[in-house]
Amino acid sequence: MGSAPTLQAAIPSVDRVLAQCAPLIALHGRERVLAAVRSELAALRSRLGEGSGDALAEAGIERIVARLGERLESEGAASLKPVFNLTGTLLHTNLGRALLPEEAVLALSVAAAHAVNLEFDLDAGRRGDRDQHLERLLEELTGAGRSTVVNNNAAAVLLALNTLAQKREVIVSRGELIEIGGEFRMPEIMKRAGCKLVEVGTTNRTHLRDYAEAIGPRTALIMKVHPSNYALVGFCESVEERALVPLARERGLPVLSDLGAGALVDLRRWDLPYEPTVQSMIACGVDLVTFSGDKLLGGPQAGLIAGKAELIARIKRNPLKRALRIDKLRIAALEAMLRLYRDPERLPQRLPVLRYMIRALSDIEAQAKRLADTVQSALAEWATVEALACESEAGSGSMPSDRLPSFGLAIKPRRRSPALQSVAAAFRSLPVPVIGRIHAGALVLDLRTLEDEQRFLDQLPMLGIGQKATSGRKAP
Ligand SMILES: *Cc1c(COP(=O)(O)O)cnc(C)c1O
């Protein structure tokens, strides 16, 4: 081993490294390459200072340039990118929920690239209203008198509560004070909307008389919340909207129903579990219904509010509406998606969410059996791969207690091979990261949503288990 000064001398100068970087400069620009060279050399210097032996081996110019190339490429890669969602959760909030139908993708990209009549009345030649593009469709599909759209359903609920019940009381059943992932807790939203929450009933049972007894001079609203991500089973009772409406009418109060998922077609038509539809709520006299654009509806993130014209008009005048509004891209996508609902017959071919939900089990099973061997050979020494039955779920608080029988690949590390977490990490570091779920000692890839099979297979040879796994990118 030489003395420290000679070791330091082994590190090339910035200029010598830069001289070898012409291709990188052409690709990434001189400024970024120079900054990367400096920080790379500084890191080497400090590792040599600490006496790290292998730092010397890494000080060769060729090695340095190769590392710079990798570093610049990974820094330059897009952060938001496509992944394979094989988690079995069809509407996965962390993976962006619903995939848009082609028609919506097209409408969105046209709107992105052009000036549009977003808030412009083409007939009158003056300022218009951005809700105009969706209103007619929503009214036709839901039977509501009027509608409006905001950023997401959390915003829809906040806006409706703030408009109708600020500084007043809102009656909600104790069994419906839900928390949905990511800090959306109904009592918290109430507080932020400036309303006083009046809880009625008990966790498992609420009766009509509980609502009746809670109504007082400060009551502004009766609210129903669809228990999206859990189900009450056993000794339980709740009051349905159709039973609440007559009581509310009698006392001159509006009823707000936060549906969450909010289907626009009866899913039983395709032998799927029942999910209350927006039109059924409107038909039984509910005054306002709030629902998400990117859950069962199958569109972009949005919060839709449909209901009585006079209440919607008040909501639209609330200054918060301006802060919560959506942009032209999502209005374009929503319009194109809602249009598809005019022809429910063909929805399964056009809406990815529905297509996944009704995909035949035999089809998924055949795919799992077809892929098992290929995936097994890609993982030869590390893991065993087996086709097996599993269950998918709609996710994002849609159809909480219903599972869809599915088929997937169960990948189990062999003894002495990298741990399960490394196998999962290796799948996540593929060019199109593959996201599965860990279940019973295996990485399970639910194939219900695997459509681009070729792309999935093509990247399997790049699975560097044990090597790249540790440097695998952070899970999304
Ligand atoms: C999902 C959900 C929300 C929140 O909707 P986002 O569109 O995610 O903001 C609110 N209420 C209920 C009942 C839900 O299921």
Structure-block tokens of residue 313: 């008009």
> Using CA atoms, how far apart are residues 183 and 196, in angstroms rounded to an integer?
19
CA distance 24 to 1: 34
Report DSSP letters for 293-319, one per residue.
SSSTT-SSS-EEEEE-HHHHHHHHHST
pLDDT at 418: 73
Instruction: Check if the beta carbon of residue 241 is closer than 8 Å to that of residue 284.
Output: yes
Confidence (pTM):
0.88
Using one digit for the tens of pLDDT, what is the confidence trace for 35-63? Answer: 999 999 999 888 888 877 677 777 788 99
CA neighbor of 331 nearest in space, from 354, 370, 301 = 301
Q: What is the pLDDT of residue 472?
A: 38
Tell how far the Cα of 236 is from the centroid of ligand 1, in angstroms.
23
Closest CA to 301 of 453, 428, 182: 182
State residue 74's pLDDT score.
86
Q: What angle do CA 254, 168, 309 make, to 5 degrees?
A: 30
Cα distances (Å, whole numbers) of residue 181 to 94, 211, 228, 393, 395: 10, 28, 11, 16, 11
- Res 56: pLDDT: 73
Whether 44 and 51 have beta carbons less than 8 Å apart is answered as: no
Task: Specify whether the CB–CB gap between 11 and 17 falls below 8 A.
Answer: no
- Is the beta carbon of 292 within 6 A of some atom in ligand 1? yes
Which atom of ligand 1 lies nearest, measured to the CA of 302? Answer: 7
Q: Which residues contact 423 (CB under 8 A, 6 or more apart)?
A: 379, 382, 383, 411, 413, 443, 465, 469
Per-residue confidence (pLDDT) for residue 415, from 0 to 100 = 75
Q: Which of 176, 258, 304 to mutate to test the pocket of ligand 1 (most atoms within 8 A of CB)?
A: 258
Mutational pocket test of ligand 1: of 97, 173, 184, the residue with most ligand atoms within 8 Å of the beta carbon: 184
Q: State pLDDT tens for residues 365-375.
A: 999 999 999 99
What residues in the chain have per-residue pLDDT under 50?
Answer: 1-2, 468-476
Dist. CA 291 → ligand 1 center (Å): 7
| pLDDT at residue 469, rounded to an integer | 38
CA distance 230 to 397: 8
Residue nearest to atom 11 of ligand 1 (CA): 260
Provide the β-strand partners of residue 410: 386, 444
Residue 181's pLDDT is what?
67
Residue 320 CB neighbour total at 10 angstroms: 15
> Residue 439: what are its φ and ψ, rounded to 5°?
-150, 130
Residue 300 CB less than 6 A away from ligand 1: no
Question: Exposure string (b/e) for 241-257, b if CB count within 10 Å is 16 or more?
Answer: beebbebbeeeebbbbb
What span, in angstroms and rounded, lies between the C-alpha atoms of 31 and 415? 48
Taking only Cα atoms into account, the Rg of the chain, rounded to an integer number of angstroms, comes to: 28
